[in-house]
Amino acid sequence: MNVLSTRNRLLQALPPGELEPLLPKFERVQVQKGDVLWSVGHPLDFVYFPEAGLSSNVAVMSEGRRIEVGCFGQEGMVSTASVLYADRAPHELLVQVGGPWLRIGIAAFRDALRNSPALHGLLLRYAHTVMMTVSQTAMSNGAYTVEERLARWILMAHDRLEGDELSLTHDFLSIMLATQRSTVTLAIQALEGYGAIQARRALIIVRDRGMLCDLAGNSYGPAEAEYERLIGPFRKTIRTTTATSSC
């Protein structure tokens, strides 16, 4: 079935004249929670543009330890390595929350890059924001507490998922935060104590986004602001009685 429209924000940023002839080259596939779509070194046969859900790029160490280095949803695409003409996956691709994705074969994708300067420029700008996110993650892991890093990561997930209920397990969060599951549990309890979230089994409910922003501090925001400057709207807003703003 031909793809005629999309909810992927990155593709929506293309001019209509560039997007309309591109969409029929895609097929729509469904990914499920827990899917590993490729591992490190896997040939990049397809490029994906999520329309919903949440997934992670995960670095895998030689002893098997896994650490998230970036997450993405309908604002992004994978793999940016394809935009840079690399042919192998640098990270594992792990689906945390499933949903529909658009998929295009690598040969058709490369043809589209050659034939559409607008697409090529857009995806290079997106790759820049991804590199900023990776650097923010490195800074966060080295300079911020687990509670601050958890607040940042919940904000990132909140931006990418609909609603305030985030289907996230402690096991997933331990990978995301590069720490033990027991440490994640204590950090979740701390954020609950501030009234920022409510935790249930395999579920985190955002109660006070403004509090999460305060807790995350400067670990969250620069990469998201750069995406909005270069591509388009992204972050969820904070609503108060007097104003609406992003953090």
* Per-residue model confidence as pLDDT tens digits over 55-83: 998 888 767 678 888 889 999 999 899 99
Q: Are residues 29 and 127 in the same domain?
A: yes
Q: Are residues 164 and 224 in the same domain?
A: yes
- For residue 142, give every residue at least 6 positions away whose Cβ sits within 8 Å of its Cβ, in sequence order, or none: none
CA distance readout (Å), 215 to 8, 148, 155, 199: 29, 6, 10, 17
In a domain, 1, yes or no: no
Rounded-to-integer distance, Cα 98 and Cα 146, Å = 26
Is residue 79 reached through a cis peptide bond, with omega within 30 degrees of 0 on the bond before it? Answer: yes
pTM of the model: 0.90
Q: Are residues 154 and 106 in the same domain?
A: no
pLDDT of residue 143: 85
- Number of domains observed in the structure of the chain: 2
Q: What is the DSSP letter of 63?
A: T
For residue 246, pLDDT over 70 is answered with: no
Q: If you average pLDDT over residues 21-41, what whole number do you get?
A: 92
What's 174's domain CATH number? Answer: 1.10.10.10
What's 63's domain CATH number? Answer: 2.60.120.10
Q: Are residues 227 and 156 in the same domain?
A: yes
Could you report the per-residue pLDDT of 186-214, keeping only the tens digit for each? 999 999 999 999 998 888 999 999 999 99
Per-residue tokens: 223: 């990469």
Rounded-to-integer distance, Cα 211 and Cα 16, Å = 38
- Which of 117, 133, 24, 115 shows the shortest CA–CA distance to 78? 133
- Beta-ladder partners of 71: 56
Length of the chain: 247
Could you report the per-residue pLDDT of 130-186, keeping only the tens digit for each? 999 988 888 888 888 999 999 999 999 999 999 999 988 888 888 778 788 888 889
Question: What are the counts of helices (DSSP H) followed by strands (DSSP E) for the chain?
Answer: 10, 12
For the purposes of burial, counting CB atoms within 10 Å of the CB of 41, is it exposed (0-12), middle (13-18) or buried (19 or more)? exposed
3-state secondary structure of 84: coil
Q: Where in the sequence is the domain holding 171, given as residue range(s)?
A: 144-245
Q: Are residues 132 and 14 in the same domain?
A: yes
Q: If you average pLDDT over residues 20-38, what whole number do you get?
A: 93
For residue 243, pLDDT over 60 is answered with: no
For residue 241, pLDDT over 70 is answered with: no
Out of 85, 114, 137, a domain closes at 137
Confidence band for 244, pLDDT divided at 50, 70 and 90: low
Torsion sign over Cα 226, 231, 233, 235:
negative
